[in-house]
Structure formats: structure tokens, C-alpha cells
Amino acid sequence: MTPSAGPPREQGFSKDADKLIRRMSLVAFLLSRPDRPVTAAEIRARVEGYALMTDDAFKRRFYEDRAELAALGIGIVGDSDGEGDTELYCLPASAYYLPAIELTPDELAALAACLFVLEHRFAYSEPLRLALLSLTHGRPELLFPAAAMPVSVPPEREARRAAAALPKLQQAVAAGKTVTFAYYSIGRDQQLERTVDPYGLLLVGDEWYLIAFCHLRRAIRTFRLSRLRSRVTFATRAPHDFAAPASFSIDDYLDRPAWQLGEPRGSATVRVAAAMAWWVEAHFSRCGTIAPLPAGSRAAGAGAGAGNADILFSTPYHSPRQLVSWVLSMGEAAELLEPAELRDELRGQLGRLAAGLAHPPLDGHTAAALLEGAAIGGERPSRATGGGGDWKVEADRFTRLATLMTYLRGVCHAAGDADQTPVPVAAVCAALDTTPAELESDVRLLNLVNFGGEGTLVWAEIKGAALVVTCDVASSAFARPARLSPLQVDTLLLAVEILGGQLPIDHGAALRSAAQKLRRARRAAPPAVAAGERLSTYEPILDAVNAAVGQRRLLDIEYWSEGSGTTTTRTVEPYLLVRTRGEWYYVAWCRRSQGTRTFRVATTKRALVRDEQFGARPEVEVELYRREGVRSSERYAPRRAVVWYAAGVARWVAEREPTVSLPAVDDPAGTPAGGCLALQPYVDERWLTHELLRFGGEALPLSPPAAIAALSDVVARLVERYA
């Protein structure tokens, strides 16, 4: 059989474009023959791109094309012709078309709201939009909510910078490609070239992490993307280098506290006073077991009140240092009871802290002068990362072309399948979130896709402000959307995880039920990208806040102020939920304070929705918070403490704030200097005390005197308790 010449090839196409044309043509050819399997010889003769290949090249390319399509969930079936001589190939409708994910209107609206909140603030915006366009069968008008959602996720500049490596790493995870990069190991304070097999990507708070098998360490390791110091490159030119082990699951890395990041080494028991018991129960109950304090046991902390209000928290741990740090951060409200070696370690840290307070490495005036000379106190330092400024993950181009084909076929059908259908370029670009230049490039490729040498699927040209489309009869094969690729399903689930049920929509369960249906559509394969929380959320609080925000109803709250350690009862008018710096806040007018206030969801102890509704107050600058999130400023933390950090933690401090390094010398009293100085904003001394306690002697306030005195008092009482 002589292959059809087909349309003339255009100049300037890359090898990747040739692959796309070939694979799109292969799918179109098989879909246009739903009831007649075809031989390899027919495919070679009829499908664009194969005819001029040698026998070996055709076998190799056909195998690669089938494998790449299978990775997108499009499985071409091969079977014997019955006599065993010839292999026949077909593409069943169930292997290409989107399976019936029966989403209710509420569920679809909830997913569309995810797009509205996250688009252009989210590295996975493009695959999210294309997935939703497929779920709506190419109807972009279903993706726009009628009004602005009362929830915002402002873009984090630092998170974008760290995410510059995401596009390449996402490709590597999807294709099983080994990658190399220079990585700064902050624990060892060294930069090394790493070669890794990437298994998955994890977003925790506003930090991206790569979970991969490290060839250097011969074990699975977690890499923080903000510590990459070079571009990410593929280690080989092979299409695939490895397969993730069947035992790997990214879920195993979700929502674990710092002390459990690794294999358990033992179990610890912590006594928690009534004042902080609610905090542990709300946010850490999943990390261990909680039991009431036995009758007759002494309460944790001075003046803790009735013993039966305290709790015993038992938790497995991997990192003793991190667990001790967490216990110390609660100050007198927690006591580490066992094991004895961890209690000894905590006692030793308190001893070093008491010695440092008695003999500080330098006086406050000298430290303040050093900070002033270095002009510390301005913007946070920029964190150098590998990669350029493009931080967005793109959907694979096959998926983009298939979605565009479905969309254009829907436009032609809506116009009555006229010979030529004009559609505004702006409308197409808005539907697929693409640019006119990208649209023109995609259209050029689609114009070359055939269905067996018998003609093109579509012919489209940009003429002025319109895209003029002519659809061939065979284009009806693309009227139904393609099945979602694994990346698209993962992206939808990632969006749900990031918003975490925070969307104040009329039917709050819609997002969760949609996620369950999408997980089933993902089939047996585990997700390769996920999002976790710094603190687990307490659903009754979320449900109440969501209902109050969505329905504009008054909310009665009990709110614990981390700075003062006090709990207040307030009635608030909540307007907006904001996710910033990896945590959720709600912006409200506080009737107690008579002003706009922001409240952390994590420190809201109780919330009760009233029946009474409230009207909008113009003085609440909702749009400002929507754009910029909850800002850190002197208004919220008006005081500054000069803090010395030991060399052992100085590198971690320098990652998050400006510092001044100190020479590594010892003072006459034997207290090591070195380390660094920083200015720590704070509201009151109690919060600062708990913040510095967690460093266990490696952080000391040098001024003001009130901060030194507050920490000294608490340390003295803790030393007495553990003595």
C-alpha cells in the first residue's frame, strides 16, 4: 500500500513536534476505526511519520509511542489475529475517552472554585485548568463562579523561587528519569552533586520537597527545593531510567511532625498541662496516643490546676532533638517523663541555656551596634535556587493538543458543523489559559494530524482576531474528551489538599466527595505529588468558620493568643479565609476590639455559628488581604529582641531572616561566641520565651532586659523541675 502524501510538512518543527504529530495521528487513526483492528503494516503505511522509517526504526518508534501513550492512560491493545501470525492493534473507547466520573453540579462547582482560587498562584495551574476543561466536556463557561470566592491563596515569592525546579522534576517523576543537581546539605554545611531517582513531590506549608532515591547515600532521601544550587538535568538520554518501588507511597510522608521523619527509635511520654492539652489533642493526636492523667499524679507546670484536666501524650520518635525541642517550646506546660535518656538530654539543654544566660557571649549594646552597622531589619534575604524564573508545571503537550481538539470540535458542533467556524482568539486563549503565539503553534501541529492519510482532522487558521476552524468528519472522534492523565488527576487532588476543605461553598462536603471520585479514577497507581499541613486542622472549627464566611453569619469564638497565652471570647464578622506562609487565617471584624483582625484557624479553640447575619463593612479591606495575604509588620509585632544563635543553628536561622555572623572565639567565661546575631520581632515576652526555648541553649536574648528576665525566670523553674 502506498502511503498518502498528506498535507505538506511545514518548516521549523522540532523532533518533539514530530513525535506529537505521529502520536496524535496514531490515536486519530485507531479511533476512526473503532470496530476494525489494524496491523502494524497498516499503521506504518497510513499514520503520519512512520512511512519513511526503516523496519528497525519503525519497531522502535512504535514501541516508544505506545509506551508514552500508556503513561498518559491511553493503552493501545495488541492481540493476535487468531492464527498467530499477525498482531492486530486497536484503541478501545474505554482506553481513550474520559471514564464516567459522575460529578454532581455542586462537586463540579467546588472543583471550579479551586481553579478560581489557585490559578496563577499555583505551580500546577495549567494541568488543573485542562483537567477541569475535560471534566466539563470542553465548556469553559462552567469554570467561572458567579462571584469572587471568599478565600484567597496569595502567591508566595519565596515559594515561586524555590519552585523553579518543579517543571523539570515533574517530568522526571512522570517519566522515571534520573536527574542530577547540586544540593546544599544544611546539616553538614556542604554542597554536593547529587544523582537521584525522583519518586514524588511534596508541598508542606509553602515549601516544596522532592522525595527520591539518592545514589550517593544509597537510600531514599528528602530534598528541599529551596536548597538546590544548580539547574536540574537529566542524567541520561534514555526515555526511562528507573521504576519507583511498589512499596513507595507518598502518603507515608504526609503530615508527620519533625520528630517522626524517619524510622522510629523509641517512644516518649509527655505530660501536658490543661492549658495546652487542647492544642495537643487538636493538632497532634494523630502522632501518638492521648490518655488522661492518672488520679493522684502531680500536674505539669506550676499552678496547672486540677490534675484530671492534664493529659499524657505518648508518641514514637525518630529524632530525639526535634522531640525535645517541641517539648521545650511549650515551656512549663509540658514535662518530658520518659525515656530517661531523653529527659537527661533535655536537662542538659536547660543547663546550657542557664549558663548562657548567666554568661552571655557578648553584651546587648555591642550586639545592637553590630546589627545596626549591617543594616539588619529590612527585607528577608533572597534564597538562591537553581533554575530560571519559569516556576509553572506544564501539562504534556499531547494532553494540551487533545484538549484543544475537543474544544474546537465542540465549537464546530455548536455552530452546526458549518464549513468554517470563526471563534475569537481571545476566547480560545482564555479557555485554555494560553497565549496567541502558543495557540498558533498548537494549531499548526493539529493541522498536520491525519487519520490514516485520508485527510486532516481539523484545519484552522488565525485571521486577525479570529481563529477560523474547519473540522473534518473524522474529528468527531475527539468530540468526547480524553481520559485524564495521571498528572491531571494528581493536580486536581493536590488542589483539594491545598485548600483542605477550606472553601466556603454552599455544600461543604462537595469537595471531599469529588476528591473520592477522582481517587477512584486514578485507579491503582498511587499519586506522585501531594500536599501536607504544618498543623493538622480540627474539622469542627473549619466547618464553623467556613459556614460563617460563606453565609455571612456571626461567629462566636474562643481564641488562644500564642503571644500572651491567654484565651479570650469574641464575636466576629468573618469575611475571608487566607492561606499564607503555609497556614490558614480568617479576616474578620472583631466586635470586642472594634476593628479588623486576623485569626489563625489553628489557634481557634471553639467556634459557634450564630443565626444572625451581618452586613459588609467598607473599612474591612477584603481585597487587600485577598491580594497580599496576612502581612507581617511592626503593627503586629512591634518589639524587637537582639538574639544570639549558636553556630549549630545559625545556618537554619540565616535561611529565614537576615543575620550577622560572629567570629568563632571563646570569651573569658568559657561561653563560645561564633554563630550569628538576628533581630527577632515579637509581641510579648511570653511568646519570645517559648520561641527561644525550643533551641535548647543555642539561642539567647541579648536585649531588651525584659526579654532576658522573662526567659531566665522560666528556665530557672524548669531546671528545678528536671533536677
Q: What is the rounded distance in angstroms from the CA atom of residue 501 to the CA atom of residue 542?
A: 8
What residues does 608 pair with on adjacent strands? Answer: 556
The answer to whether residues 504 and 137 touch, using CB atoms and an 8 Å cutoff, is: no
pLDDT at 345: 94
pLDDT band at 289 (very low <50, low <70, confident <90, very high): very high
pLDDT at 494 over 70: yes
Residue with cell 520581632: 681
The answer to whether residues 430 and 382 touch, using CB atoms and an 8 Å cutoff, is: no
pLDDT at 34: 80
Q: Nearest 5 degrees, angle CA 274-CA 279-CA 283?
A: 145
The answer to whether residues 49 and 21 touch, using CB atoms and an 8 Å cutoff, is: yes
pLDDT at 382 over 70: no
End-to-end CA distance of the chain: 92
Helices 397-414, 125-135: crossing angle, 10 deg rounding:
40
pLDDT band at 522 (very low <50, low <70, confident <90, very high): low
Tell me the pTM.
0.77
Give residue-wise pLDDT tens across range 152-165.
Answer: 776 666 566 667 88
Long-range CB contact pairs, 327-330, < 8 A, 24+:
327/270, 328/693, 328/694, 328/696, 329/690, 329/691, 329/693, 329/694, 330/272, 330/276, 330/690
Residue with cell 492493534: 89
- Residues contacting residue 511 through CB under 8 Å, at least 6 positions apart: 107, 110, 111, 114, 496, 499, 501, 503, 505
Q: What is the rounded distance in angstroms from the CA atom of residue 24 to the CA atom of residue 22?
A: 6
pLDDT at 534: 61
Helices (H), 500-605: 510-521, 539-551
Q: 131: closest CA among 477, 408, 491? A: 491
Q: Report whether the peptide linkage leading into residue 339 is cis, meaning its omega lies within 30 degrees of zero.
A: yes
pLDDT at 367 over 80: yes
Q: What is the rounded distance in angstroms from the CA atom of residue 596 to the CA atom of residue 286?
A: 34
DSSP letter at 210? Answer: E
pLDDT band at 347 (very low <50, low <70, confident <90, very high): very high
Q: 176: closest CA among 390, 388, 489, 486? A: 486
pLDDT at 658 over 70: yes
The answer to whether residues 428 and 439 touch, using CB atoms and an 8 Å cutoff, is: yes
Mean pLDDT of the chain: 83
Cα torsion angle, 665, 668, 672, 677, sign = negative
* Dihedral of the alpha carbons of 202, 645, 536, 529, in degrees to the nearest 10: 0
Which whole number is the average pLDDT over 223-244?
91
pLDDT at 507 over 70: no
The answer to whether residues 318 and 261 touch, using CB atoms and an 8 Å cutoff, is: yes
pLDDT at 299: 47
Helices 15-31, 436-446: crossing angle, 10 deg rounding:
60
* 629 or 440: which leads in pLDDT: 440
pLDDT band at 338 (very low <50, low <70, confident <90, very high): very high
* 74 or 565: which leads in pLDDT: 74
Please tell me the class of the 539-628 domain.
mainly beta
Residue with cell 469574641: 570
- Residues contacting residue 99 through CB under 8 Å, at least 6 positions apart: 483, 521
pLDDT at 386: 43
State the cell numbers at 95.
Answer: 482506553
pLDDT at 302 over 70: no
The answer to whether residues 229 and 386 touch, using CB atoms and an 8 Å cutoff, is: yes
pLDDT at 387: 43
The answer to whether residues 149 and 451 touch, using CB atoms and an 8 Å cutoff, is: no
Distance of CA 134 to the CA centre of its chain: 23
Q: 598: closest CA among 618, 580, 616? A: 580
pLDDT at 63: 92
Q: List the chain domain ranges.
A: 15-96+397-478, 259-338, 359-381+637-722, 539-628
**Beta strand 38-39 pairing with 87-90:** antiparallel
User: How many CA atoms does the CB half-sphere of 48 hold within 13 Å?
Assistant: 29
Q: Report whether the peptide linkage leading into residue 704 is cis, meaning its omega lies within 30 degrees of zero.
A: yes
Q: 101: closest CA among 521, 526, 525? A: 521
Q: What is the rounded distance in angstroms from the CA atom of residue 212 to the CA atom of residue 242?
A: 11
pLDDT at 300: 44
* 93 or 554: which leads in pLDDT: 554
Residue 550 is which amino acid? G
Which range (76-85, 608-617, 651-660) has the least confidence? 76-85
pLDDT at 6: 41
Q: What is the rounded distance in angstroms from the CA atom of residue 347 to the CA atom of residue 512?
A: 45
Give residue-wise pLDDT tens across range 575-629.
Answer: 988 887 677 888 999 999 999 988 988 889 999 999 999 998 988 888 888 777 7
What is the DSSP code string of 272-286?
Answer: E-HHHHHHHHHHHGG
Give kind and range of the element (H or E) at residue 480: none
Phi/psi region, residue 87 (left: phi>0; alpha: psi -120 to 50; beta: rest), is: beta
Please tell me the class of the 259-338 domain.
alpha beta
Which whole number is the average pLDDT over 293-301?
60
- Residues contacting residue 125 through CB under 8 Å, at least 6 positions apart: 115, 118, 119, 392, 433
% residues pLDDT > 90 (the chain): 32
The answer to whether residues 609 and 589 touch, using CB atoms and an 8 Å cutoff, is: no
Helices (H), 415-509: 425-432, 436-446, 486-499
Q: What is the rounded distance in angstroms from the CA atom of residue 423 to the CA atom of residue 430?
A: 12
The answer to whether residues 579 and 502 touch, using CB atoms and an 8 Å cutoff, is: yes
pLDDT at 263: 80
Give residue-wise pLDDT tens across range 530-578.
Answer: 777 666 666 778 788 888 988 899 999 999 987 777 889 999 999 988 8
User: How many CA atoms does the CB half-sphere of 305 hold within 13 Å?
Assistant: 11
State the cell numbers at 409.
Answer: 470540535
pLDDT at 301: 43
pLDDT at 673 over 70: no
